[in-house]
Amino acid sequence: MKCVNDFRLQLGKRELVPVVVGGMGVDISRAELALEAARLGGIGHISDAMVPTVSDRRFQTRFVSEKAKLYKYNAANSDKSKVLFDLGRLAEATHNHVGRTMEAKRGEGLIFINCMEKLTMNAPRETLRVRLTSALDAGIDGITLSAGLHLGSFALMESHPRFRDAKLGIIVSSLRALQIFLRKNARLNRLPDFVVVEGPLAGGHLGFGMDWAEYDLRTIVAEIQQYLAAEKLDIPLIPAGGIFTGSDAVSYLENGAAAVQVATRFTATHECGLPDKVKQEYLKASEDEIEVNLISPTGYPMRMLKGSPAIGAGIRPNCEAYGYLLDGTGNCSYITAYNREVEAHPDAKKLSVMDKTCLCTHMRNFDCWTCGHYTYRLKDTTRRLGDGTYQLLTAEHVFRDYQFSTDNKIALPPEPQ
């Protein structure tokens, strides 16, 4: 019986363990987690979501307070069009985050950064260009373009000296999205080095509508495989979403996938950036405590625990400090929803906004508990301790379980001493 370790992901000259730990913003897939995946010979992702905030927390920089101070005069104004990121400071923050992670890298694996196009930051093209090129400057091994169509993102990096040597890939949820991407980028004469095919059971934002349950990862992967074969395009495919055991992974690898991308199982590890208390919420969740809703201002459905403090919270938008979801004209659908509630309840001390959430503040504070569909199975991957909590795992334990397990088995961690 085969295990994941019987396969290898060939990326250029590199041979890797075909396990990719997916990007989880904001800093849920922390550098420590990505570094473990790379040390063990696979691929780990850091995330480029809210990097100035992440840099402040990790390296005691002051990017957020500086920006908040600069735009303090605008805090009560619902027009946020003047609240712009300083591109130099954004590059510096990306340099800190990526550069220090790459300096700490050990082993044969790779570190990629997950870059979400939907973080429009009140100047979509300019900020995206800076995020992409400064990650390349700082030595990132590769970039995975996610959450959005990214039709112009390759062109934004075109003149960078590493454009043809760094590994650049894209996440799609349909053959159509891939076809559009390939068509729009044909003139660059540079195919993606890999394509992550993300199905409807993934965590974070979904590339489907609220009819997500009608789609199935295996069918989408098969369609894309057929298309690539017919077009004689040799691009490694990496399925993602709901691959919970080593055997799940093997079934994709045996059918021609180059690797698998996984995330949910790593949310229960020490190295994951979620606070330990939140990890326990994930571990104890039951299936009916998980929902897909439309509260993200990006407009994409998002999967999360129903108990997330972000749901229904009515905090004042904090775009002067953050502002990552402002579109190119200074709007965010949370601001609109918030203002509507303020108008409807002018005397209320505490507001509730049900239809949208302030994703920046809540993701930053780990109060939006986005998760994969199989989060309710996490409790079967570990032990319940005497005090009723669950034992956290090491990333190495989970990675090796994917790598070596057979027969749909999940290895429990050694008993705590």
Ligand X SMILES: Cc1cc2nc3c(=O)[nH]c(=O)nc-3n(C[C@H](O)[C@H](O)[C@H](O)COP(=O)(O)O)c2cc1C
Of 96 and 267, CB closest to ligand X: 267
Of 338 and 390, CB closest to ligand X: 390
CB 174 within 8 A of CB 162: no
CB 379 within 8 A of CB 390: yes
- Provide the minimum distance between the beta carbon of 267 and ligand X in the complex, in angstroms, as a whole number: 5
Of 75 and 377, CB closest to ligand X: 377
Token pair, residue 343, equals 């108008």
- Provide the minimum distance between the beta carbon of 20 and ligand X in the complex, in angstroms, as a whole number: 8
**Can you tell me the distance from the alpha carbon of 339 to that of 380, in angstroms, rounded to the nearest whole number?**
44
Question: Which are the contacts of 135, defined by CB distance < 8 A and separation ≥ 6?
Answer: 48, 94, 98, 113, 115, 143
CB 238 within 8 A of CB 213: no
- Provide the minimum distance between the beta carbon of 1 and ligand X in the complex, in angstroms, as a whole number: 22
Which residues of the shown chain bind ligand X in the complex (CB under 6 A)? 22-25, 28, 47, 49, 114, 116, 146-147, 171, 198, 201-204, 240-243, 261-264, 267, 370-372, 374
- Provide the minimum distance between the beta carbon of 290 and ligand X in the complex, in angstroms, as a whole number: 11
Of 84 and 262, CB closest to ligand X: 262
Count CA within 13 A, CB hemisphere, residue 16.
28
- Provide the minimum distance between the beta carbon of 60 and ligand X in the complex, in angstroms, as a whole number: 24
Of 84 and 197, CB closest to ligand X: 197
**Extended strands (E) in 52-198:** 110-116, 142-146, 167-172, 194-198
- Provide the minimum distance between the beta carbon of 319 and ligand X in the complex, in angstroms, as a whole number: 20
Q: At what angle do helices 63-70 and 87-103 cross, to 10 degrees?
A: 170
Of 146 and 357, CB closest to ligand X: 146
**Can you tell me the distance from the alpha carbon of 284 to that of 225, in angstroms, rounded to the nearest whole number?**
37
Residue bearing tokens 């965010």: 332
